[in-house]
Structure formats: C-alpha cells, structure tokens
Amino acid sequence: MGQTQSLPPASQAGSPLQLCLNNVFASSSGSVAYPQSVFYQLADVKVYNQHIPITPAAVTRPTTSDEISKIVQCAAASGVKVQARSGGHSYANYGIGGEDNAVVVDLVNFQKFNMDTTTWQATVGSGTLLADLTSRMHDAGGRAIAHGTCPQVGVGGHATIGGLGPLSRQWGAALDHVLEVEIVLANGTVTRASATQNQDVLFAVKGAAASFGIVTEFVFLTHPEPANIVRYSYTLEYTRKTRRHGPTFATWQSIVSDPALDRKLATEVVLFELGMIISGTYFGTKAEYEALGFEKKLAANATVSVSILDDWLGAVGNWAETEALKLVGGISGAFYSKSLTFRPDTLIPASGIKDFFNYLDTANKDTLIWFAIFDVEGGAVNDVPQNGTAYAHRDALFYLQTYAVSLGTLSQTTIDFVTGMSSKITDSMPGVDFGAYAGYIDPQLTNGQEQYWGSNLPRLQKIKAAIDPQDLFSNPQSVRPVA
C-alpha cells in the first residue's frame, strides 16, 4: 500500500482513471498495466534512455482504434496527458510521456499490412517496426520507401517526425511517402486525413504528430526496390591525433555541398573513439560509383572497402551494422544527444572544423562510447516547399548528431562533452540559426519548438488550438495551442 500512496492520484489503484481503463479492456485481447505491477518498469514501461527515468500512469496496449478512442477519453476525463509509443526509441522517452503520470498508448498490436498491386500503395499499421516494414514490402512485390537505418524503430514515430535515410536524397523523407492516415484526435474522434480531407491534420502529422493525435494507420506511396547497390567505406584509424582527420572532413563537406551531387549517393561521416569512417551507399552500378572519384578524393591513409550488394534486404540489413547502431541502436542505456542542421549557406568554416577536431582530442569525455555523425540529406527532401509539411528543415544539406552513452550513470562531464561538440562549431559561426531535428530529441533545448519546427510553428500552434485546445497530446517539447 505504501507504493500506491506515493503515486499521483490518477496512478493509484481504484482511481477513476484505472477504473475507466479497466472497463476499456474488460472484453479486449489488449492489455493495460499500472505502476502497482511488480515488473512495471521492466516489462511495460521499458525506458529507452535510462538517464531520464519516468513512471507513466498506465501503459495500454489496445488492439483497435475504437479502444484508443476510449483510452483518450479516459485520460481526458482524469486530466492526464497521452502519448503514443510505436518502436519506443524516443531519445527523451517522449513515447512514454516525457514526464511522470502520462497514459502511454503502445501500438505494438497495430500490425496491419496490405499492398494494393494496382496503385502500389501500402496500408501499414503504426506499430510496425522498420525491419518488418522492409520485409513486408519486399514480399508484397519488391516495393520500398525511404526510411532510416535502425531496424527496431517504429514507423509510427519515424514517419511522423521526418524519417531520414539513405534513399531520402532520391525519394524524400519517410513522411513524404505518407498519402493518408487514420488518426484518433483529442475528442476521441477516429478520422482520416489526406490531401482531400482534414488537410491541416495531415500537415501537422507530417512532422509533428505526437502533438496532435495518435496515428493508427498509414497509406504510403511506394517505389520499386533499387536494383543496383554499392556499399562503400573508408576507415581512418585512430592516430592519437584525431585532429589530423579534419582536412579529410573538410574535403567531404566540399564534395557534398556541390549542388550537382548525384542524388543516388548517400554518405555519412562517423567519428568515434577509434577514428573516423566515411561510408554510405550508392544506388547505381559500380562503374557509376567509380566515376564519382570518391577514392581519389578521400582515401588517403584509409582502409577502403567497396562491395556490391545484390539484394535489397541485404542492403538494408547492412545499414544496421554500422558501429553506432551496433552499440546503441536497439539497446536501452543512459545517453545524451544533440543535433545541428547545416544548409548550403551555413557550411562549417575552416576555423570551426579545426576547433571541433581539436576538441575531440583534448576534451574529457568520461566515456569511451561517443559518436559524432554527419549525415547528408538534401536532394528530394529539399524539393518540397518549406511550408508543405510540418517538417521544417527543407533547406538542410546535412545534419550533425552527437551523442554519448554510459554503461552506468551518465555523468555531467559526459553531458558537457556532448554539448561542447556542438558548441565548438556554433561558436565559429555566430549569428547562425541552426535548428534541430525532432527525431534527435534534446530535452535541454530551451526553445525546442522553435528549433524543431521553425517557421511552421505558428501554423502548428493554430491547428493545435483547433483540435487539441486542452493540450491532451503533450510532452515537454510538444506544440502548444495558441489562438
């Protein structure tokens, strides 16, 4: 009883919230769990970032949209916030509310899949993981969409934040493939949003859905799987002076900033304790790849690996084998992450590159597990107008994602190191408004909404006021209603 009494009223046994949710699941094959459960945190909450412990009021696993509607109404009646969880990979645990005492709607049971072989549009449940989405589309006719490289990420969050990946320069972000959604709104209504109905809702879903409702189903535009795939990697080993890699990074930045860069090229730079790796995928023939001249420009003092991948599933599986994803992709732990957005007119100057690489050599990290990842975007992602969707960074050329992981408690020294990686660059570019990617949530941002959604924020605030004026779908950095 002591544990129950220490909980907020809505989380206590016999509270109106629990009685209401119990009624929802009285004759359902779904389930609900509460903090009183012995294995609640381990089996139900499953915190991804252990640096941010959170205790939700309840974790629900509905099986139908109607059940989600009733869950939303139960939470609203009790004055409790609601957040959806798809794959559960939120960096700040926003998928479990971001703060204590929210109701979590776990979409694990929403696994619907259907491929219309006339239109080649795929209907996909929002609990589907990217690995399953890839294989189901492959089996349904060799189809694909652009998405990220972590197989354990859920499509429900991924395709409503951005969904950037190796094919994005050709096909756009994952959310650019979204034609229609089924969504549960704050008043419990289950509705559809598309280019012809509830257009404002679809605009908000494509970049900021967690603030507006719970998407239960997507209709995706799909493409034929790429036929020719080249995987390449240039590994520059640790040489006791990481700063020596700075000129190579400067060359990479110069290459990717060329407006005529082949859209079939995906490339990233990964810096970590053992050195630097420049790797990626070219969606064409080996002869076409070799004509780009990457090796001549980047391969000095590097271990070069170039391979031909003869099947799409193998290529996607290969992406998950990067050093960063092998260490943190599907494993919960204590970590901190930041991101910066770079445009063609905000490339990192020579002084910033020098300071950044010097900092990697000299800073006290208090961990051996850290990464700085520069990921090229641009291409088709930039083709969509800035105000075409809630996703705001249509002018992004590449992103920097920095993060560090601790095997125990994350120290302030490690947090400061991650912050310092960004600061060394931003300090060399005073006055630049960088922006941040909402998929790399940074709970320490003081103006997260502005950084995530930029010039689209005012419109999002008005839509929020219209469909969720009580801010039911809320987390610490979600869109707030403004008239």
48-61 burial, b if ≥16 CB within 10 A, otherwise e?
bbbbbebbbbbbbb
Q: Which helix (H) or strand (E) holds 313?
A: helix 312-319
The answer to whether residue 177 is domain-embedded is yes
The answer to whether residue 475 is domain-embedded is no
Edge-to-edge strand list for the sheet holding 334-342 = 303-309, 229-237, 275-282, 265-272, 369-376, 398-406, 334-342
SS3 call for 318:
helix
Looking at the structure, do residues 34 and 145 belong to the same domain, yes or no?
Answer: no
The answer to whether residue 449 is domain-embedded is no
Looking at the structure, do residues 331 and 185 belong to the same domain, yes or no?
Answer: no
Looking at the structure, do residues 353 and 233 belong to the same domain, yes or no?
Answer: yes
Looking at the structure, do residues 20 and 71 belong to the same domain, yes or no?
Answer: yes
Distance CA 157, CA 218 (A): 12
Taking each helix axis from N to C terminus, what angle separates 350-362 and 246-256, rounded to the nearest 10 degrees?
A: 140
Distance CA 144, CA 281 (A): 16
Q: Is pLDDT of 218 > 80?
A: yes
Burial class of residue 84 in the structure, from the number of CB atoms within 10 Å of its CB (0-12 exposed, 13-18 middle, 19+ buried)? buried
Distance CA 85, CA 98 (A): 11
Q: CATH no. for residue 252?
A: 3.40.462.20
Looking at the structure, do residues 163 and 240 belong to the same domain, yes or no?
Answer: no
Looking at the structure, do residues 73 and 13 belong to the same domain, yes or no?
Answer: yes
- Lowest average pLDDT, out of 214-223, 284-293, 309-318, 430-439, goes to 309-318
Share of the chain above pLDDT 90, in %: 82
Q: What is the mean pLDDT of residues 310-319?
A: 76
**Span between the terminal Cα atoms of the chain, in Å:** 44
Looking at the structure, do residues 389 and 321 belong to the same domain, yes or no?
Answer: yes
Q: 241 falls in which pLDDT band (50, 70, 90)?
A: low
Task: Give me 49's structure tokens.
Answer: 């970032």
Q: What is the mean pLDDT of residues 214-220?
A: 98
Model pLDDT, residue 4: 44
Contact between 83 and 104 (Cβ < 8 Å): yes
Distance CA 148, CA 453 (A): 20
Looking at the structure, do residues 190 and 329 belong to the same domain, yes or no?
Answer: no
The answer to whether residue 474 is domain-embedded is no
Contact between 108 and 186 (Cβ < 8 Å): no
The answer to whether residue 483 is domain-embedded is no
The answer to whether residue 251 is domain-embedded is yes
Q: Is pLDDT of 57 > 60?
A: yes
- Give the pTM: 0.94
Question: Over the stretch 59-85, which tens digit does the pLDDT of each residue have?
Answer: 999 999 999 999 999 999 999 999 999
Q: Which helix (H) or strand (E) holds 270?
A: strand 265-272
pLDDT, averaged across the chain: 92
Q: What is the mean pLDDT of residues 333-345?
A: 95
- Residue 431: C-alpha distances to residues 348, 426, 454 (Å): 13, 9, 16
Distance CA 233, CA 227 (A): 20
Model pLDDT, residue 44: 96
Contact between 171 and 146 (Cβ < 8 Å): yes
Q: CATH no. for residue 158?
A: 3.30.465.10
The closest alpha carbon to 403, from 363, 373, 439, belongs to 373
SS3 call for 316:
helix
Q: What is the mean pLDDT of residues 448-475?
A: 97
Distance CA 452, CA 446 (A): 12
The answer to whether residue 234 is domain-embedded is yes
- Residue 169 is part of which domain span? 113-225+454-467
Looking at the structure, do residues 292 and 437 belong to the same domain, yes or no?
Answer: yes
Looking at the structure, do residues 169 and 101 belong to the same domain, yes or no?
Answer: no
Burial class of residue 215 in the structure, from the number of CB atoms within 10 Å of its CB (0-12 exposed, 13-18 middle, 19+ buried)? buried
Q: Is the dihedral of CA 33, 34, 40, 41 positive or negative?
A: positive
Q: What is the mean pLDDT of residues 278-302?
A: 87
The answer to whether residue 481 is domain-embedded is no
CA angle, residues 93, 98, 102, in degrees to nearest 5: 115
Looking at the structure, do residues 276 and 369 belong to the same domain, yes or no?
Answer: yes
Looking at the structure, do residues 462 and 435 belong to the same domain, yes or no?
Answer: no
Q: Is pLDDT of 114 > 50?
A: yes
The number of folded domains in the chain is 3
Phi and psi dihedrals of 252, rounded to 5? -60, -45
Distance CA 398, CA 375 (A): 5
